A and B are shown apart, each in its own frame.
Chain A
Amino acid sequence: MIRRIMLKEFKENLRQGRFRVSLLIVSLLLLIAAWLSFSYFNSIQQQHAEAKENARNIWVSQDEKNPHSAAHYGTYAFKPKYPLSLIDHGVDKYSGISIFLEAHKRNESQFMAAADQTGLSRFGDLTPDFILLFIIPLLIILTGYNAFTRERELGTWQLLRSQGLPVWKLALGKWGGVFLPIFLLTAGLFIIAAVLLGNLQDFGQFNLAALLLMFVVYLVYYAIFVNLTLIVSAISRHSGISLVSLLLVWIVVCLAMPKASSNLADAAFPYPSRQAFASAIDEDKKLGLDGHNPWNQAAKEFERETLEKYGVDSLHKLPFNFDGYRMQKGEEHEAEVYFKHYALLKETHQQQTKVYQAATVLSPFLPTRFLSMALARTDYRTHWDFADAAEKYRLKMQEALNMDFAENSSYGNWAYRADKSLWKNIPDFSYTPPSYGTVLQRNSGNLVALAVWMFVSFFGLRYFTGKI
């Protein structure tokens, strides 16, 4: 019976010009967005591979030189582009694609795509996630706003009720009638994405389970919107009132709440300015050992401790080059300073995340957005995870270079030249993102929020349709 109502609703919708035109426009937009995204993905993937290869070639083809010179010469860590970013670009555009790795400094990522765009990019890009998150809910509203009001306006409600049909069954049938075209549209996009991603040359990173999970997340998001749409239609007297009310719901859920929670989070837990962040790091750096300055207090103290430890009275009598050793200790101190200040940033991020989590009570958009970005590996957490991995790599690289300098030369011998093989012996940077299990664990709050929205809205649908 529910299936019969669902198919009737679907058939009726298909026979409405308004629905057909809307569906056609959204389908075309999705196809264009998928194509643009795929082209962008391919081009970035190619650029990434070339840049990564070039950076490695430049590193390994260095001439014989002092290891610390090589440390300052530096190299790059490139953030991989993940296949599901084809669907959700997330914050990739603003987070940068590579980090310059050098001695003494933890650099921010650079080459943000947004920096290369004109002011017109403020209007936003046509991407699949934009259509999935903003446009399809509008299509749901357009399809279902008059699901119940139309019955009353047409006068078919009494005939329907006279068939002895429980209203909740009718509501479920109508639910299916609105959800079915949305399901087919979304499934179509994800099948296209699977086919495109399956044909990528760099297929190794693609995970079909993650794609399916993302598909399910979006379906739950749409199910919530269908519930909200039918609830408003059930309690509205007229179709016009229902449509206006639902557009208000869309504005609050998809536009106002995300922006308001962002402003609220920023106001409650502000990040330090770039300048304040840099100067705080500089201040802390000065309190410890400076590898380049043998005269600073911490360096002198370290020198005294080392001489005492090895039972010698001169740095020349140490079994290694103290310059390299001090450089390494200076690096370790700077790393601790960076770790401390980045931990503070992460703590602020955690506090801001709690504000967003609280806002999920008012908007199912937020948990969906966060889950989608996390599964696409285009969220800030993945970016920070990458930045941390790059920092770990930088420290290991510095250690290898400093220790080579310390162990293969004598104190004061800055003319020492390391063999070219040293550059090759330092492995290339490779980054493995957190597993999907970890991603889901980290996003358990968002999963719970989405599930609660789903059940509460279903309960609401049952309750309000029972009152018709």
Chain B
Amino acid sequence: MLEAINLSKSYGGHMAVSDLNLSVATGDIYCLLGANGAGKTTTINLFMGFINPTAGQVKVNGLDVASESNETKKHLAYIPENLMLYPNLTGIENLDFFCGLAGKSYDKEQLEEMLIDCGLQPEFIHTWVSQYSKGMRQKVGIALARAREASVLLLDEPTSGLDPKASNEFSELLLSMKEKGVATLMATHDLFRAKETGTHIGIMKQGELVHSLEADAITVLELEEFYLDTMTIAKPQES
């Protein structure tokens, strides 16, 4: 479970995230929408503990990220927009290495099976990652998240730049993890994907979470209209 309580992050005078309150329960997929610079990636980075909040608190499965950064990471799996792996290692070697760092140990057959389950073509399993496409690297990332048996998944625009087929496969993998009770927070620009895979949708604007919706309560067209309206209307200025 993920919680942001009155969370703020500022850089100099600029508020990247402002008074954010958010909760992602077990089995939920919370999709954060917003324009570039809205604060989506900053929010993910705060949950990851890569940066410290200016105010407020971030919790992962009840643990405070700021004070127990390494401990909370044991519950998390993270896939950035452009997942980079070690180019001189094969996909299976990368997976084995990162699993090992997370304290998980699998034999070769199990690792191969995980990669294949995540959609990586078998002929690429033992190929150096330098020859992988972005989509293939993202699949290794998902395999890693599954192998780590993480209860929380943080995704920062994971389908950006993927072709529709790969993007669809990625969504299916997310849904399969949802079935296993994984709480997912995903920053994305893809409204369609957010509606199809998300259980909740949040819209961020200038560091604030301006709307939070149930995905089932809205159609894709309504979401698009709502999103565009939100982006167009100027943020109310405090008097």
Residues of A within 8 A of B102 (CB): 163-164
Interface residues of B in 184-215 (CB under 8 A from A): none
Interface size class of B (residues with CB under 8 A): 20 to 34
Q: Contact partner of A158 among B50, B70, B71, B97, CB < 8 A? A: B50
Q: Contact partner of A161 among B50, B71, B86, CB < 8 A? A: B50
Q: For the complex, what is the distance from the CA of A160 to the CA of B80, rounded to whole Å?
A: 12
Residues of A within 8 A of B77 (CB): 162
In contact, B101 and A158 (Cβ under 8 angstroms): no
Task: Return A366 CB to nearest CB of chain B, in Å.
Answer: 37
In contact, B85 and A8 (Cβ under 8 angstroms): no
In contact, B89 and A11 (Cβ under 8 angstroms): yes
Interface string of A2-23 (1 = CB under 8 A from B): 0011001001100110000000
B176 proximal to A (CB < 8 A): no
Residues of A within 8 A of B85 (CB): 156, 159
Task: Return B98 CB to nearest CB of chain A, in Å.
Answer: 6
Q: For the complex, what is the distance from the CA of A163 to the CA of B48, rounded to whole Å?
A: 10
User: Which residue of B has the minimal Cβ distance to A154?
Assistant: B84
B122 proximal to A (CB < 8 A): no
In contact, A8 and B86 (Cβ under 8 angstroms): yes
Interface size class of A (residues with CB under 8 A): 20 to 34
Task: Return A154 CB to nearest CB of chain B, in Å.
Answer: 5
In contact, A12 and B88 (Cβ under 8 angstroms): yes
Task: Return A155 CB to nearest CB of chain B, in Å.
Answer: 3
**A interface list, Cβ under 8 A from B:** 1, 4-5, 8, 11-12, 15-16, 154-156, 158-166
Q: For the complex, what is the distance from the CA of A156 to the CA of B140, rounded to whole Å?
A: 13
User: Which residue of B has the minimal Cβ distance to A164?
Assistant: B73
User: Which residue of A has the minimal Cβ distance to B144?
Assistant: A159
Residues of A within 8 A of B89 (CB): 8, 11-12, 15
Q: For the complex, what is the distance from the CA of A180 to the CA of B103, rounded to whole Å?
A: 23
Q: For the complex, what is the distance from the CA of A200 to the CA of B40, rounded to whole Å?
A: 72
Q: For the complex, what is the distance from the CA of A164 to the CA of B80, rounded to whole Å?
A: 16
B30 proximal to A (CB < 8 A): no
Knowing A11-B89, A164-B102, say if A4 contacts B76 (CB, 8 Å). no
In contact, A4 and B100 (Cβ under 8 angstroms): yes
Q: Contact partner of A154 among B78, B86, B98, CB < 8 A? A: B86
Residues of A within 8 A of B71 (CB): 164
In contact, B74 and A154 (Cβ under 8 angstroms): no
Knowing A5-B101, A12-B88, say if A155 contacts B82 (CB, 8 Å). yes
Q: For the complex, what is the distance from the CA of A166 to the CA of B82, rounded to whole Å?
A: 23
In contact, B70 and A164 (Cβ under 8 angstroms): yes
Q: Contact partner of B84 among A156, A162, A165, CB < 8 A? A: A156
Residues of A within 8 A of B76 (CB): 162, 164
Task: Return B120 CB to nearest CB of chain A, in Å.
Answer: 17
B116 proximal to A (CB < 8 A): no
In contact, A163 and B101 (Cβ under 8 angstroms): yes
In contact, B78 and A162 (Cβ under 8 angstroms): yes
In contact, A163 and B73 (Cβ under 8 angstroms): yes
In contact, B48 and A164 (Cβ under 8 angstroms): no
Residues of A within 8 A of B80 (CB): 155, 158-159
Task: Return A163 CB to nearest CB of chain B, in Å.
Answer: 4
Interface residues of B in 88-133 (CB under 8 A from A): 88-89, 93, 97-98, 100-103
User: Which residue of A has the minimal Cβ distance to B85?
Assistant: A156
In contact, B78 and A160 (Cβ under 8 angstroms): no
Q: Contact partner of B86 among A4, A12, A163, A164, CB < 8 A? A: A12
